[in-house]
Chains A and B, each alone.
Chain A
């Protein structure tokens, strides 16, 4: 086993704690994200018909394009 001074050991412990905290934060973030995804999937009934919204989507885009164009001309 390698010999470390007390100060070195304390610094290593501090660094390891910081790494551990970082990893725990990352894990918490992943868990939050997973929960949000599960919540959203529960509403899949509302998204599964998205394919039927093509005409509506095109109309929305066309109106947006038109207003942007008119704004640009003014």
Chain B
């Protein structure tokens, strides 16, 4: 390790980076099984929600019809679960089961903010070394600041003009109608997933009535997604670390677009934006990677993470396939638009790093600011707003 090694305690490597071919194959087989389980779980949530709610899905989510309440629910849920991939996959399943897309959009935006908590927590491990902590904390909170700013700008625009809802609707309709031309692939997906979904339905068939069976399916689906997303991340991190190194080496000394692209590709490879944004924190803590390099890299992770929801949407077939794909596309378009607007306009581009650096300077001065920021932004304020929204 170089002399610039960060002070955070690192666990020893659990596995050599260069695995033997047989182990690589086993890892890839595990990934395939886990993706299958993820798709089955999303299908189970969709089927379960449809069975439990029937035509009353909108009424069931009446508490979230206020978009600010929906936003806060998405934020708190993701901050608690610590995985936006899990929350967005669940939302895709719920939309497939009848949750209206306009209610789901603020939930997706909230999930985008909630996921940035993970790297902020990782940065806390550097607290014993003042300057290293300042750099690590600013590298982590630039993601928070960007995602919050994106919601502040895009949520009101979405509520007024619905650009995300409309554009995703058009693209989803195009993609699904194209896919429908090839009925073989649609039926293949349904046929491949049918045994797993049928097995899950069989497991809950002893429960009385479709409502309880539907609720049980939702719970099983959520549990499966929690397990799968975490497991898939662990396996892919081991398999993909060599590739991630190559990508990062290639982007050294290049511009922000290259940094963004490497953040996107690494996130797609490891299927977790938290992994990408957390791995950059100790790198930034050393001072070798500057804020100018870290910032576009974390934005790339916002794009890469959308792949999970798109993957989840492929589990849905039938009439609601277009809606499932639509909400997954909303996630992607929101992040693309956020980057285009905030990073594209020089005045706005400077806001997240300045906020992050200001907050990190305060955090270095007094740790109470850190506790206040995390508790307030991710829990107290959202929960208070949810409470006020119910009055």
A-to-B contact residues, CB < 8 Å: 30, 33-34, 36-54, 56-58, 60-61, 64-65, 68
**A58 and B283 contact, CB distance less than 8 A:** no
Q: Is B257 engaged at the interface, CB distance under 8 Å to the other chain? A: no
The residues of B that contact A65 with a CB separation of less than 8 Å are 367-368, 370-371
7 contacts between A and B (CB under 8 A): A38-B249, A41-B245, A46-B13, A50-B279, A56-B8, A60-B9, A60-B127
Per the 8 Å Cβ criterion, residues 1-21 of B in contact with A are: 1-2, 4-5, 8-11, 13-14, 17
Q: Is B122 engaged at the interface, CB distance under 8 Å to the other chain? A: yes
Closest to A35 in B: B252
**B2 and A36 contact, CB distance less than 8 A:** yes
Task: Scan B236-265; emit 1 where CB is below 8 A from any A CB, else 0.
Answer: 010001001100110011000000000000
CA gap between A57 and B289 in the complex, in Å: 21
CA gap between A41 and B241 in the complex, in Å: 10
The residues of A that contact B270 with a CB separation of less than 8 Å are 48
Per DSSP, are chain A's interface residues mostly helix, strand or loop, or mixed?
helix
Knowing A34-B253, A45-B17, A64-B127, the reply to whether A50 touches B245 (Cβ < 8 A) is: no
A51 interface neighbour in B13, B274, B289, Cβ under 8 Å: B274
**A36 and B279 contact, CB distance less than 8 A:** no
**B248 and A51 contact, CB distance less than 8 A:** no
The residues of A that contact B5 with a CB separation of less than 8 Å are 43
Closest to A51 in B: B278
B367 interface neighbour in A42, A56, A61, Cβ under 8 Å: A61
**B125 and A57 contact, CB distance less than 8 A:** yes
**A40 and B370 contact, CB distance less than 8 A:** no
B125 interface neighbour in A41, A45, A49, A60, Cβ under 8 Å: A60
CA gap between A38 and B248 in the complex, in Å: 8
Knowing A44-B244, A51-B122, the reply to whether A37 touches B279 (Cβ < 8 A) is: no
By CB atoms of chain B within 10 A, which of A41, A43, A56 has the most?
Answer: A41
CA gap between A14 and B278 in the complex, in Å: 48
B8 interface neighbour in A36, A48, A53, Cβ under 8 Å: A53
**B252 and A39 contact, CB distance less than 8 A:** no
Q: Is B335 engaged at the interface, CB distance under 8 Å to the other chain? A: no
The residues of B that contact A50 with a CB separation of less than 8 Å are 8, 122, 278-279, 281-282
Knowing A41-B249, A61-B370, the reply to whether A47 touches B282 (Cβ < 8 A) is: yes
**B279 and A51 contact, CB distance less than 8 A:** yes
